[in-house]
Chain A
């Protein structure tokens, strides 16, 4: 698998953008900035997916991650943001020793992963040497054979068709399980995020019982807050 010409240029642009946006996600003081950097990182990775010929996954990535999950993140940040972080009143990271230990761990992980990729890729290349040769030409002719779009200059990719085929043919049971998982996640998050009042309203609790419950909850929250 080799990218040529402009593909290589765009590969370097988007991969460097993805890594820098990822770094800034982790280092930004303000959580909203973090979320925006994560959005740009996800968009760059979507562009890499397009370079790899996975247009469907790139679209799903933009729609689901950027359009859905990150909006959810931004809402939650705005619901819970305490504001002490960006004013510099509070540390953004753990204690220095913990940070040092985790950075050493990450460094070791980098070394290990790069070593594994290097050796593994050499072995892989040795194995597939014969088959890797003519594929660039093959892919080019395949792309030439695709139907043209309405403007006549673009080609209509069959990637989505292939993904759909193999999704429903070979992975239909996992697909159904994923839908059940999403249903469980929806119900679970509604259950987790509702207040005591909403909980009691659904369960038809007697108003007096509800009042005592609310008072108990307030007491409990007070004790949990630990006046220091």
Chain B
């Protein structure tokens, strides 16, 4: 199935000549560490925007998951980079990502417990209506 598309992709990948566009194309067809870092940064920003703008507390939690996931992507990308610069057995980044996932799971459980307790008392999930600590 994949081999059906192979000529098209090969054709697209041929035209890497000089010029600014050629350089961009050349770098786009061989993604390296910096591409992964940019993707991680964009996911992080999207998560931050969600935390800052949304009113629904559950969507805010989901944005936090997005942020943690972006951090994980950076860890894994750097782990691969370290493997490729000599140390083939460098997996410290992956071990760290496991811990990030564990902490994210614990955070989600506690946070959603708080949301349920809050909803039982205040009957709202809008963060601008939860102002008990405001004086």
Contacts and interface: CB of A to CB of B under 8 A. Distances in A.
Contact of A98 (B53, B65, B104, B125): B53
Interface of B: 2, 9, 28-39, 41-50, 52-56, 58-59, 61-63, 65-66, 69, 72-73, 76-77, 79-81, 83-86, 88-89, 91-92, 94-95, 97-99, 101-110, 112-117, 119-126, 128, 132
Contacts, number: 257
6 contacts: A15-B39, A54-B79, A94-B52, A103-B53, A166-B91, A189-B109
Given A106-B48, A131-B86, A188 B110 contact: yes
Chain A interface bracket (under 10, 10 to 19, 20 to 34, 35 or more): 35 or more
Interface of A: 1-4, 6, 8-9, 11-12, 15, 18-19, 22-23, 25-26, 31, 34-35, 38, 41-42, 45, 48-49, 52-54, 56-57, 60-61, 64-65, 68-69, 72-73, 76-77, 79-80, 82, 85, 90-94, 98-99, 102-103, 105-106, 109-110, 113-114, 117-118, 121, 124, 128, 131-132, 135, 138-139, 142, 159, 162-163, 166-167, 170-171, 174, 178, 181-182, 184-186, 188-193, 195, 221, 224-225
Given A93-B54, A131-B86, A138-B88, A82 B43 contact: no
Main secondary structure of the interface of B (DSSP, over half): helix
B53 A102 contact: yes
